[in-house]
Amino acid sequence: MTDALRLVGGRVYDPANGLDGVVADVCVEGGRIVATVPDTARRIDVGGMVVMPGGVDIHSHVAGASVNAARRLLPEEHAADAEPAPALAPGEPRARSGSGGTVPTTFTTGYRYAGLGYTTVFDAAVAPLYARTSHAELDDTPIVDAGFYVLVGNDAYLWQLIRTGDRARAQHYVAWLLSAAGGYALKVVNPGGVEMWKRGHRGRIGLDDPLGSDSLTPRAILDTLCDAAEALRLPHATHIHCNDLGLAGNVATTLATMQALSGRRAHFTHIQFHAYAAAADGRRMSGARDLVEYINQHPEVSADVGQVMFGPATTLTADGVVEYLLYKSSGRKWVNSDIELETGCGIVPHAYRERQAVAALQWVVGLELFLLAADPWRVVLSTDHPNGGSFMAYPELMRLLMDRAYRDECLKRVNATLLQGSALADGLSREYTLNEIAIVTRAGPARLLGLKHKGQLGVGADADITVYMPNPDQSVMFATPRFVIKSGIVVVEEGQLRRAPSGRRLHVRPAHDRTIEAPLRSFFERHATVSFDNYPVGALRDDPVPTT
């Protein structure tokens, strides 16, 4: 099914190549975009339809031990959202049933992402110790090309290296860690805060607070990881979840973290959760203006928003501190797990409601970040699935960005208690164009991830393509693509999922100095329950993405 194919006469939105709604044919052969195909090639008439590269999700949670624990926490969602096996084309391997809800099962995750026109997905937080589980689950997540970021920065070995001033070795250690786990990028969550909380500390951890040693601070952790990502020429910058998630006044922490890394490439994730100012009475208010102003002026900074969408969610993070606080305030079911030597993990089911003041503020702050951002290439779309809402809410989010009248109607319904000083409440007229939607959902994330063959439709690019039927209600348009093509295979045809090939694994394998392995081995022998030899996941089916 990777035969030659010509999509005829669609309106092509391919921002990486400067095409903004240009009527053109798109040709595919051998899984890639080509300049032309023989006259005998299959033709699909997409006249009047919108053609974009396949969607690229830079930050989601879809595979691994923590996601699996979240699935077990919500059996009622499974019963309420059973997903029968899709009716694939004759001759296709048997499809699998599953369940949806805020944390769908593996097969359903792949089918539903593809059903929205997304063809690449990254899980943003995998403890290296559980990397095997994540690979196994991604093996069972069809269609999408996928990878994950490796949690580092609250781990005992890195702390030891920073404490002793051995930053050079730290670079080789994280290179080894990425290779051992089969990961794609470095992810740091609440640097210092997770490990100190595991040790019984219950206050905030500031950027320059010593972590049991004057030389070890959150700032030193961030410095070390960002420098390592640059030295190793990783395709994606260090992916940073700042300290103080969710707290009133945390925009100061986020800005201080950005300033600490000034001039260096860094990606700040789900910044909506890190963009709150503090009112005189201590309550949260929007800090989006200050944060966006900084991002607008600093081209080395990129971000995804982590938009909150009203409805059910599952909060799920290595930031066990946050989940403890959410559990205390909500009284809902709670999972907290210690991942030996490496990180923490917390999970709490949640619901965001329009009439709830904090949820309304979060929804507003996210939209402000999108609508005030000057450069959509650097402020890209996410809901931090399933934290701010399901990826299934992306079409609704795109409508909120594109349709001011609709957005203003929604705004009238929300609790306005915490909205003083809000730019959105004051009135933001911006409406995203289709070209800008193509940037924040495909071209931008692909560029930030260093995926040269994705997020664009130039000759040689991966033939990942989504075709939408225009609709005055953009949420309908984006929820129901007419065609989705993945690596040249037509997976969605006339709106129906018809094929479900395996996706590829996206990972890196940067070189490291082998002399670091002997001390690592003795560290494992002394402290870990897993042996050094059993820790690496070994060879993966797909070649690594080059790091130069």
- Interface contacts to Zn ion, rule CB under 5 A: 124, 384
How does DSSP assign 132-200, residue by residue?
HHHHHHHHTS-SSEEEEEEE-SS-HHHHHHHHTT-HHHHHHHHHHHHHHHT-SEEEEESTTHHHHHHTT
Beta carbon of residue 59, minimum distance to Zn ion (angstroms, whole number): 6
Q: Which is nearer to Zn ion, 384 or 464 (CB)?
A: 384
Q: Which is nearer to Zn ion, 107 or 268 (CB)?
A: 268
Q: Which is nearer to Zn ion, 384 or 403 (CB)?
A: 384
Helices and strands in the chain: count of H runs, count of E runs = 19, 24
Cis geometry, peptide bond prior to residue 386 (ω within 30 degrees of 0) = yes
Read off the tokens for 394: 């992306």
Residue with the shortest CB distance to Zn ion: 384
Beta carbon of residue 323, minimum distance to Zn ion (angstroms, whole number): 12
Beta carbon of residue 51, minimum distance to Zn ion (angstroms, whole number): 30
Question: Going by C-beta distance under 8 Å and a sequence separation of 6 or more, which residues neighbour residue 479?
Answer: 116, 395
Q: What are phi and psi of 16, to 5 degrees?
A: -65, -25
- Residue 495 near residue 482 (C-beta atoms within 8 A): yes
- Residue 483 near residue 42 (C-beta atoms within 8 A): no
Q: Which is nearer to Zn ion, 86 or 444 (CB)?
A: 444
Q: How many Å apart are CA 142 and CA 107, to the nearest integer?
A: 6
Give the distance from CA 546 to its chain's centroid. 21
Beta carbon of residue 322, minimum distance to Zn ion (angstroms, whole number): 11
Helix (H, G, I), strand (E, B) or coil at 66: helix
- Residue 481 near residue 468 (C-beta atoms within 8 A): yes
Beta carbon of residue 503, minimum distance to Zn ion (angstroms, whole number): 20
Beta carbon of residue 411, minimum distance to Zn ion (angstroms, whole number): 26
Question: Going by C-beta distance under 8 Å and a sequence separation of 6 or more, which residues neighbour residue 534?
Answer: none
Beta carbon of residue 125, minimum distance to Zn ion (angstroms, whole number): 6
Beta carbon of residue 67, minimum distance to Zn ion (angstroms, whole number): 11
Q: Which is nearer to Zn ion, 83 or 384 (CB)?
A: 384
Q: Which is nearer to Zn ion, 137 or 384 (CB)?
A: 384
Q: Which is nearer to Zn ion, 10 or 306 (CB)?
A: 306
Query: How many residues appear in the chain?
Result: 548
Q: Which is nearer to Zn ion, 323 or 384 (CB)?
A: 384
Nearest to 448 by CA among 226, 268, 256, 260: 268
Give the distance from CA 117 to its chain's centroid. 16
Start-end of H helices in 9-130: 65-73, 75-80, 106-115
Exposed e or buried b per residue across 387-422, where buried means at least 16 C-beta atoms within 10 angstroms of its C-beta: bbbbbbbbbbbbbbbbbbebbeebbeebbeebbeeb
The residue whose two tokens read 């359903």 is 108
Q: How many Å apart are CA 503 and CA 51, to the nearest integer?
A: 21
Q: How many Å apart are CA 285 and CA 403, to the nearest integer?
A: 25
Residue 409 φ/ψ region, left for φ over 0, alpha for ψ in the -120 to 50 degree band, beta for the rest: alpha
Tell me whether residue 540 is exposed, middle or buried, using C-beta atoms within 10 angstroms of its C-beta: 0 to 12, 13 to 18, 19 or more.
middle
Beta carbon of residue 124, minimum distance to Zn ion (angstroms, whole number): 4
Beta carbon of residue 183, minimum distance to Zn ion (angstroms, whole number): 15
Beta carbon of residue 317, minimum distance to Zn ion (angstroms, whole number): 6
Q: Which is nearer to Zn ion, 12 or 291 (CB)?
A: 291
Beta carbon of residue 286, minimum distance to Zn ion (angstroms, whole number): 21
Q: Which is nearer to Zn ion, 176 or 391 (CB)?
A: 391
Helix (H, G, I), strand (E, B) or coil at 416: coil
Q: How many Å apart are CA 389 and CA 203, to the nearest integer?
A: 28
Beta carbon of residue 387, minimum distance to Zn ion (angstroms, whole number): 6
Beta carbon of residue 305, minimum distance to Zn ion (angstroms, whole number): 12
Residue 494 φ/ψ region, left for φ over 0, alpha for ψ in the -120 to 50 degree band, beta for the rest: left
Q: Which is nearer to Zn ion, 179 or 314 (CB)?
A: 314
